[in-house]
Copies of this chain bind each other. A is one copy, B any other.
Amino acid sequence: MFLTFSCKEQKASLLESTVLESKQTDPLSSWHDTPTKQAIISYVKEVTNTESAKFIPVSNRVATFDNDGNLWSEQPLYFQLFFAIDRIKAMANEHPEWKTKQPYKAVLEDDMKTLMSYGEHGILEIVMATHAGMTVEAFDAIVKNWLKTARHPRFNKPYNELVYQPMLELLDYLRANNFKTYIVSGGGIDFMRPWIEAVYGIPVDQVVGSSVKTEFVIEEDKPLIKRLPKIDFIDDKEGKPVGIQRFIGKKPVFASGNSDGDFAMLRYTDSNTYPSFQLYLHHTDAEREWAYDRDSHIGKLDKGLDYANANGWTVIDMKKDWKVIYPFQKE
C-alpha cells in the first residue's frame, strides 16, 4: 500500500513542478485564451487546491470522456461504421449471397442512401456480421490491421490520426492534476481498446463502451472467448450513467461529450456532491472539421445545448476556442 501513497505523493510533488512549469509552458497550448479555456483551468486549479472549499480528494477525481465526435471525429459516418463497411467488402468473397441481399448489396455498391434507408436495423445487421463470430484476439488483430490500412475519405489519414489535439492536451492536463481519465462511449469497447492506450494514454481497463455478448469455451483443450452476434450492452444516452456505475463505480466530477447521447452522463455528473464540470464540444468549424448540431443524424446536439446554455455548462466553440484540430496540423 505504501507504494500507492508514495506514488501519489510523488505525483503531487511533480504536480507542483508542473504548475510552476506551466507558467512558462502552457498545458493547453492548442486552446485559444478564451473563457472556455479559462473555465477549465480555474476549475482544475480550485478543486486541486487543498486550501479551497472546493478541494476534491484524488480518489474522487474521476473524469469521463465520450469518444465519437469528442476525442476523434465522427463524420461523415461514425468511424466504426466505416470499419464495418470495409469489413463487409473484405468478407464479400466468403459471402456470395451478399451481392443480392440487402443491406449488404448497398454496402458493396457504395450505395449509402439505400444503406441508410434500412435505418438502425440495417446498421445493426452489418455491425453484427462484422463484429462477431471470431475470438476476441482475432477481432483485436482485425481492428489494428484496419487502422494501419484504412484512410479517411476527406483527410486521407488513418482514422485514429483524426483525434483532437486540444482534447489530447486536456486529457494530459487532467492526469497531471491526478484526475483518472476514462472513455465512456457508445462505440464498441473492443473496437476502441486496440488503439486508445497509445493515442489517448488511457489504459484498456478505463474504457466503458457498447459490447456484444461473448462466451468462454474450451476447444481442442484451448480456452477461448468468442464474440457472439448479440448485443450485450449499449453504452449510450441513459446507458452511459449505468455503464459508469457498473464499470467505474464512482460518480464522475468531470464529464465531456458532444451530443445528446452524452446528456444523461453530464446530468449525472452534475449531481455530484463535489464541485463538478460539464463540457460540451460544439462542432462549429465546417472548414477545418465539420459544423453540425440540432438537426444532425450523427452527433445530434439539441436538448443538451439548450440545457448547457441554461445551466452554465461549458460549451467549446470549436472554431473560436481551438487553434488546431488535429495533431498533424500543428506547426
Known interface pairs A1-B172, A59-B203, A223-B267; 10 further A-B residue pairs with C-beta atoms within 8 A, sorted by A's residue number = A3-B11, A3-B14, A6-B14, A204-B249, A205-B205, A205-B249, A214-B246, A223-B241, A225-B268, A232-B246
Query: A11–B264 Cα gap in the complex (Å)?
Result: 38
Is A73 part of the binding interface, using a Cβ–Cβ cutoff of 8 Å? no
Contact of A246 among B3, B59, B172, B189 (CB under 8 A): B189
With A172-B1, A248-B205 as given contacts, are A242 and B264 in contact (CB-CB < 8 Å)?
A: no
Query: A330–B248 Cα gap in the complex (Å)?
Result: 34
* A16 → chain B closest CB, angstroms: 12
Q: How many residues of A contact B (CB 8 A)?
A: 51
- A7 partner residues in chain B, CB cutoff 8 A: 7, 10-11
- A282 partner residues in chain B, CB cutoff 8 A: none
With A175-B1, A207-B249, A245-B136 as given contacts, are A271 and B223 in contact (CB-CB < 8 Å)?
A: yes
Closest to A176 in B: B3
Query: A238–B215 Cα gap in the complex (Å)?
Result: 8
Query: A240–B225 Cα gap in the complex (Å)?
Result: 11
Interface residues of A in 1-51 (CB under 8 A from B): 1, 3-4, 6-7, 10-11, 14-15, 18
Is A193 part of the binding interface, using a Cβ–Cβ cutoff of 8 Å? yes
Beta-carbon contact of B205 and A250 below 8 Å: yes
Is A222 part of the binding interface, using a Cβ–Cβ cutoff of 8 Å? yes
* A177 → chain B closest CB, angstroms: 9
- A3 partner residues in chain B, CB cutoff 8 A: 11, 14-15, 18, 175-176
With A6-B10, A216-B268 as given contacts, are A211 and B246 in contact (CB-CB < 8 Å)?
A: yes
- A201 partner residues in chain B, CB cutoff 8 A: 1, 4
- A310 partner residues in chain B, CB cutoff 8 A: none
Mask for A200-239, Cβ within 8 A of B = 1, else 0? 0101111100010011111000110100000010000011
Query: A191–B79 Cα gap in the complex (Å)?
Result: 38
Is A247 part of the binding interface, using a Cβ–Cβ cutoff of 8 Å? yes
Beta-carbon contact of A264 and B1 below 8 Å: no
* A49 → chain B closest CB, angstroms: 18
Beta-carbon contact of B268 and A204 below 8 Å: no
Beta-carbon contact of A214 and B242 below 8 Å: yes
- A190 partner residues in chain B, CB cutoff 8 A: 249
30 A-B pairs within 8 Å (CB atoms) are namely A1-B172, A1-B201, A3-B11, A3-B14, A6-B10, A7-B7, A59-B203, A136-B245, A189-B246, A190-B249, A204-B249, A205-B247, A205-B248, A205-B249, A205-B250, A211-B246, A214-B246, A216-B238, A216-B264, A216-B268, A217-B238, A223-B241, A223-B267, A223-B270, A223-B271, A225-B241, A225-B245, A225-B268, A232-B246, A247-B247
* A56 → chain B closest CB, angstroms: 16
* A162 → chain B closest CB, angstroms: 20
Query: A207–B246 Cα gap in the complex (Å)?
Result: 10
Contact of A175 among B4, B215, B250 (CB under 8 A): B4
Closest to A232 in B: B246
- A245 partner residues in chain B, CB cutoff 8 A: 136, 214, 225
Beta-carbon contact of A271 and B11 below 8 Å: no
